[in-house]
Chains A and B, each alone.
Chain A
Amino acid sequence: MLRATLKSLLARKLRLMLASLAVLLGISFMSGALVLTDSLGRVFDNLFTSISSGTDVQVQGTSALGADAQAQPVPQAALDAVKKVDGVAEVVGDTGGEGGLVLPNGKLLKKTGPPVLGVSFNAGGLQESLRVKQGKAPVGLDQVAIDLTTARKQHLKIGEQVGITGTGPKRPATITGFVGFDTTNSIAGATLLAFDPPSAQQLFGHPGEYQSLSIAAKPGVTPQDLKQRINAVLPQGTKALTGQEAIDKDSKDLKQGLQFFTVFLVAFAFISVFVGAFLIFNTFAMLVAQRTRELALLRALGASRRQITRSVVLEALLVGVLSSVAGFLAGIGVAIGLRGLLNVIGIELPAGDTVIRTRTFVLCMLVGVGVTVLAALLPARRAARVAPVQAMRESGPAEERSLRRRTVVGGVIGLLGAALLATGLAGGSVSSVGIGAGIVFIGVVVLAPVFAGAVVRVLGAPFAALGVPGALGQANAMRSPRRTTSTAAALMIGLALVAAISTLGASAKKSVTAAVSTSLGADFIVHTEQFSPFSPSVTQALLTQKAFSDVAAFRAGEVKIGGQLTGVQGVNPAALQDVLQLDVLSGDLASLGTNSIALSKKQAKALKTKVGDSLKVTWPTTGEQPLTVGAVYDDNPFAGDYLVSDATYDANVRDKQLIVVALKTASGVSLDASRAAVETALQDYPNLKVQDQAEFVKSQASQIDFLLSIIYALLALSILIAILGIINTLALSVVERTRELGLLRAVGLQRRQLKRMIRVESVIIAVFGAFVGVVVGIGFGYALVSVLHDSGVTDFAVPYLRILVMLGIAALGGVLAAALPARRAAKMDVLAAVSST
């Protein structure tokens, strides 16, 4: 039997090729994702180790809010104390932040992706990992060293004048040299601006403060020992870690990020493999149907049912193993290619090994082989049911079986899914909605053959009206609802996801627009590209312009309220009323004093508190403070959940830097004049952006679009596999219908018309899949939007244009899918086709 299986496999290798290709593509996606993220993990491990190589002990700030909260700065006192500890060879405070570089041509260096980072540079320090590669180390506020990669890319020269920004206004500086690490010239493509430590403190708004202290031990002192000695003298709010502990901590954070990225990519790989499963199922189902006589002959000659099943499963197993191994290997190539691509687009990473873990291989084989065999199981069982007597009968294409059982099963699954979905919607549970939606989808796929006929009749009507080839194509598409559906199902999955995501995206955009128009009153808002902190001097600069009735500065910090880590904004309540359309429901915002807080309606309800109550608020450095609830306001995405006055904020937070400044134009001043005033005031702050409401909405929308386009790109492979599935079904159908095609040609159907007939069938299958997918997808999008209402997706919108484009692309995919099978059919020798048995 094994020999018979191998022979039949070889004889039909062409027909199995597309099925193998589908498995190969899906598995290479999976293998590529795993190899890439594993390799990146290794690269970052190495990078952290090399950057911290000279640091034996590191001192970090802690937060009263716990380990999950942002670390607080380390005060100068800590550095002074550490200096005196026996066994310390050298201690240096590190600081930095997001910076800006104004090139010699006067333009700000604009980057998409990797940021511009300002760092403190302790030239020649024992624990310093940055090296001067050319020139000299910078000394003082007017000197800067730049990483070698940026220097080369921007053609910078030593001695050249540039502008630099930290959190404050732009300053001129001279380039003294170019720096880099031992293994790489930049970290993942970030531009580095290196300053001596005191200058860095001043530029990034932390005079007398550090992000961390790096300490080198004297020879003979172990890091562990030194850590204990240092911990003994450190002031409250700081702690010492050994160099290795610090590396592990950083690396763990990054690994978690990478882990998320891996899961995200692998999820899309799974979708591709799952879509491929339909293709495999179709291939085996059609091959079994075509081989009915052969199988019956085997049965007549004494092969048992079990042997028949086993031979089909074995065939699937071989296809699965071969294509999974090929996919695994191709994935390694993809990962290497992608790393090369990252370098090309400017995300420079140090060279590192390609990490191929056993887990990657095992997972690829398990998924690839498992899916192939599972998909072939049903056709294998059908093959076993072939009766020996069928060897003697006239063999035609298999008859369609009744769809009654399918209707019942599909209906039950669909209803179960709908029930779970409804429960999820009622309880606001995203996971129930997701799982419910998935089950509904399975129900729809099971039910699809039941309604396929009706839908195809409608979709195909325009083609049928255009003449005989169209009518024949439509008839062929309706011929086997199961086959049409399982071919179209692959496309359904891809398009349902695309439609759901794009509905969610359109709704999110609409929600942002609505939120801005109902909640924001400001004419302009000022912030940096990444919403990083900037100097309060910006407010002063704006106030000198006299064009504004309100200049409202927002500061953002972390607090713990009711056991929850949450954000709080420090504001001048008097300036708030006009820049936010804030509805104060009770209390008085203007009366917010030093010991009071205002909160949103949502939080007031959640905490069961009202104006006049006392609320315990824990701050990062000052700890728990009772504040009086001074006002409750209607939910407003820009106000957030909690607001305190500047006085309260100052009493608890050392950092004076701002996140956003919102401006209202004074009456009698035109918006143009007001904008000009902002630009004049900010001319020394090239890293700050001014946006009016429309621009703000647009930039938010473009971020949503960016996310959407990543997801589209990741789903593209599964759509490609779905189109391969259509090619596969058509190619096998053409073989199955050889005589029929021959007959058509004999009675006068032109080649051109024959091709058109196959194209119409293909387009109908594709559009049917896309149409059902899109309808289901919009439904899911609606469910997602409902459940995410509290997360700020308040409005529902259907991206009609985009969905029309999707249907158009599906139709085009159908045309392309038909190309090869149609050519093959048209090339068929009429005589051979008519007389073939």
Chain B
Amino acid sequence: MTTTSPPAVRATDLHKSYGKGDTVVAALRGVSIEVPTGQMTAVMGPSGSGKSTLMHCLAGLDTFDGGGIDIGGTSLRGLGDKQLTALRRDRLGFIFQQYNLLPTLTAEENITLPLAIAGKKPDAAWMAQVIEAVGLSDRLQHRPAELSGGQQQRVACARALISRPDVVFADEPTGNLDSRSGAEVLRFLQHSSQEYGQTVVMVTHDPVAASYAERVVFLADGLLVDDMTEPTAEKVLDRMKKLDGLV
């Protein structure tokens, strides 16, 4: 919204490697990035570029070796599992590629799950607004098995937003969907950023998906190699082709 507010996410010189000794693989080799509040940012890169690792680190799902991460002013460095879990619960939202919902819960219960875990009541007005936006008003009492893939993913979107998190992390949210359902999900994410000022960080390898974002950052070989604003599918595809050539 306003450019003066502090960044929702800030990573500084982030390092992360896997394995030991000879088999060590450096996944992140000094990535620095800032995501301003309210921005929808797409993270792109070829397989093995470190884009998923970056997101997992930013989201407190994985540990990092060097550098620092700030989420809405809280440094993740040195936080234990308990604090990280609480942070994810209270201040982050998640959308995964698949298997996003608990089969035993109804759509509504899935949406309010993070609040229920924290022992909080949903804000009724906000809840109605989010449900309206994802278009699930008539599906709330259904269980995931009774919903289509697109509907399930929209339930996941609503769940990610319900606690008004600092950041929503989406990991290939359209990877398993047909293009129409995928577009619905992406439009919703875009809408939430533009209308509610929701910060969104989305990892994707799909240039069309990336084009919904306000900004696209490119990763290759564990390094941030490009930063594009006002992306279009064509521009992103071109950039990716060049990156593929590099690797």
**Could you list which residues of chain A lie within 8 angstroms of chain B, going by C-beta atoms?**
396-397, 399, 467-468, 471-472, 475-476, 478-479, 739-740, 743-751, 753, 830-831, 834
**One of A399, A468, A830, A831 near B117 (C-beta < 8 A):** A468
Cβ–Cβ < 8 Å partners of A746 in chain B: 59, 61, 88, 94, 96
- A47 to B: closest C-beta gap in Å: 64
**One of B61, B86, B100, B159 near A831 (C-beta < 8 A):** B61
Cβ–Cβ < 8 Å partners of A397 in chain B: 103
Cβ–Cβ < 8 Å partners of A399 in chain B: 145
**One of A467, A476, A748 near B114 (C-beta < 8 A):** A748
Q: Within residues 24 to 78 of chain B, which ones have a CB less than 8 A from any CB in chain A?
A: 56, 59, 61-62
Known A467-B119, A743-B100, A834-B96; judge A748-B61 contact (CB<8 A).
Answer: no
Cβ–Cβ < 8 Å partners of A743 in chain B: 96, 99-102
> Is B22 part of the contact surface with A, judged by Cβ < 8 Å?
no
**Could you list which residues of chain B lie within 8 angstroms of chain A, going by C-beta atoms?**
56, 59, 61-62, 81-82, 85-86, 88-90, 94, 96, 99-105, 113-114, 116-119, 145, 159
Cβ–Cβ < 8 Å partners of B99 in chain A: 739-740, 743
Q: Are A748 and B102 in contact (CB under 8 A)?
A: no
**Given A468-B116, A751-B81; 18 other pairs, CB 8 A cutoff:** A467-B116, A472-B105, A479-B103, A743-B96, A743-B99, A745-B85, A746-B61, A746-B96, A747-B89, A747-B117, A747-B159, A748-B85, A748-B117, A750-B82, A750-B86, A830-B61, A831-B56, A834-B96
Q: Are B61 and A475 in contact (CB under 8 A)?
A: no
Cβ–Cβ < 8 Å partners of B56 in chain A: 831
A467 to B86, CA, bound (A): 16
Q: List 15 A-B contacts (CB under 8 A).
A: A468-B119, A471-B116, A472-B104, A475-B104, A476-B104, A743-B96, A746-B61, A746-B88, A747-B114, A748-B85, A748-B114, A748-B118, A750-B85, A834-B61, A834-B96
- Interface majority SS (helix, strand, loop, mixed), chain A: helix
Task: Give the most central of A396, A476, A744, A834: most B CB within 10 Å.
Answer: A834
- A751 to B: closest C-beta gap in Å: 7
**One of A747, A748, A831 near B62 (C-beta < 8 A):** A831
- B160 to A: closest C-beta gap in Å: 9
- B110 to A: closest C-beta gap in Å: 10
Q: Which residue of the partner chain A has the closest CB to B118? A: A748
- B149 to A: closest C-beta gap in Å: 9
Q: Which residue of the partner chain B has the closest CB to A750? A: B85
Q: Are B102 and A740 in contact (CB under 8 A)?
A: yes
A749 to B81, CA, bound (A): 11
A475 to B101, CA, bound (A): 14
A475 to B110, CA, bound (A): 13
A293 to B144, CA, bound (A): 21
A366 to B59, CA, bound (A): 57
A468 to B120, CA, bound (A): 11
Q: Which residue of the partner chain B has the closest CB to A478? A: B104
5 shortest interchain CB distances as A-B pairs? A748-B89, A475-B104, A468-B116, A748-B88, A739-B99
Q: Are B102 and A472 in contact (CB under 8 A)?
A: yes
Q: Are A747 and B94 in contact (CB under 8 A)?
A: yes
- B88 to A: closest C-beta gap in Å: 5
Q: Which residue of the partner chain A has the closest CB to B100? A: A743
Cβ–Cβ < 8 Å partners of B96 in chain A: 743, 746, 834
- B132 to A: closest C-beta gap in Å: 22
Q: Which residue of the partner chain A has the closest CB to B96? A: A834
A468 to B119, CA, bound (A): 8
Cβ–Cβ < 8 Å partners of A744 in chain B: 102
Task: Give the most central of A399, A475, A746, A749: most B CB within 10 Å.
Answer: A746
A260 to B117, CA, bound (A): 58
Known A739-B99, A740-B103; judge A748-B81 contact (CB<8 A).
Answer: no
A750 to B102, CA, bound (A): 16
A743 to B59, CA, bound (A): 13
Q: Are A479 and B113 in contact (CB under 8 A)?
A: no
Cβ–Cβ < 8 Å partners of B113 in chain A: 468, 747
Cβ–Cβ < 8 Å partners of A472 in chain B: 102, 104-105
Q: Which residue of the partner chain B has the closest CB to A746? A: B94
Q: Are A749 and B94 in contact (CB under 8 A)?
A: no
Cβ–Cβ < 8 Å partners of B62 in chain A: 831
Cβ–Cβ < 8 Å partners of A740 in chain B: 99, 102-103
Cβ–Cβ < 8 Å partners of A396 in chain B: 103
Q: Are A748 and B86 in contact (CB under 8 A)?
A: yes
- B97 to A: closest C-beta gap in Å: 9
- A774 to B: closest C-beta gap in Å: 27
Q: Which residue of the partner chain B has the closest CB to A479? A: B104
Cβ–Cβ < 8 Å partners of B105 in chain A: 472, 475
Q: Which residue of the partner chain B has the closest CB to A475? A: B104
A467 to B117, CA, bound (A): 8
Cβ–Cβ < 8 Å partners of A471 in chain B: 116
Cβ–Cβ < 8 Å partners of B101 in chain A: 743
A740 to B101, CA, bound (A): 8
A44 to B140, CA, bound (A): 75
A479 to B143, CA, bound (A): 12
A740 to B96, CA, bound (A): 12
Q: Which residue of the partner chain B has the closest CB to A739? A: B99
Task: Give the most central of B56, B104, B114, B118: most A CB within 10 Å.
Answer: B104
A468 to B86, CA, bound (A): 15
Cβ–Cβ < 8 Å partners of A476 in chain B: 104
A399 to B102, CA, bound (A): 15
- A17 to B: closest C-beta gap in Å: 28
Cβ–Cβ < 8 Å partners of A749 in chain B: 85, 89, 117
A478 to B105, CA, bound (A): 12
Q: Which residue of the partner chain A has the closest CB to B99? A: A739
Cβ–Cβ < 8 Å partners of A830 in chain B: 61
**One of B85, B89, B94, B104 near A751 (C-beta < 8 A):** B85
- A129 to B: closest C-beta gap in Å: 73
A744 to B113, CA, bound (A): 9
- B108 to A: closest C-beta gap in Å: 13
**One of A745, A748, A751, A831 near B90 (C-beta < 8 A):** A748
Q: Which residue of the partner chain A has the closest CB to B82? A: A750
A744 to B94, CA, bound (A): 11
Q: Which residue of the partner chain A has the closest CB to B94? A: A746
- B114 to A: closest C-beta gap in Å: 5
A327 to B24, CA, bound (A): 47
Q: Which residue of the partner chain A has the closest CB to B160? A: A747
A160 to B86, CA, bound (A): 80
- B43 to A: closest C-beta gap in Å: 16
Q: Which residue of the partner chain B has the closest CB to A826? A: B81
Task: Give the most central of A479, A747, A750: most B CB within 10 Å.
Answer: A747
- A743 to B: closest C-beta gap in Å: 7
Q: Which residue of the partner chain B has the closest CB to A752? A: B82
Cβ–Cβ < 8 Å partners of B145 in chain A: 399
A751 to B82, CA, bound (A): 8
Q: Which residue of the partner chain A has the closest CB to B112? A: A468
Q: Which residue of the partner chain A has the closest CB to B169? A: A746
A476 to B117, CA, bound (A): 16
Q: Which residue of the partner chain A has the closest CB to B97? A: A835
Q: Are B117 and A753 in contact (CB under 8 A)?
A: yes
- A253 to B: closest C-beta gap in Å: 62
A479 to B103, CA, bound (A): 9
Cβ–Cβ < 8 Å partners of A467 in chain B: 116, 119
- A714 to B: closest C-beta gap in Å: 39
Q: Which residue of the partner chain B has the closest CB to A394? A: B98
Q: Which residue of the partner chain B has the closest CB to A476? A: B104
- B80 to A: closest C-beta gap in Å: 11
- B111 to A: closest C-beta gap in Å: 11
Cβ–Cβ < 8 Å partners of A479 in chain B: 103-104
Task: Give the most central of B101, B102, B145: most A CB within 10 Å.
Answer: B102
A740 to B145, CA, bound (A): 14
- B122 to A: closest C-beta gap in Å: 13
A467 to B115, CA, bound (A): 11
A418 to B111, CA, bound (A): 48
A292 to B96, CA, bound (A): 24
Cβ–Cβ < 8 Å partners of B85 in chain A: 745, 748-751
Q: Which residue of the partner chain A has the closest CB to B89? A: A748
Cβ–Cβ < 8 Å partners of A478 in chain B: 104
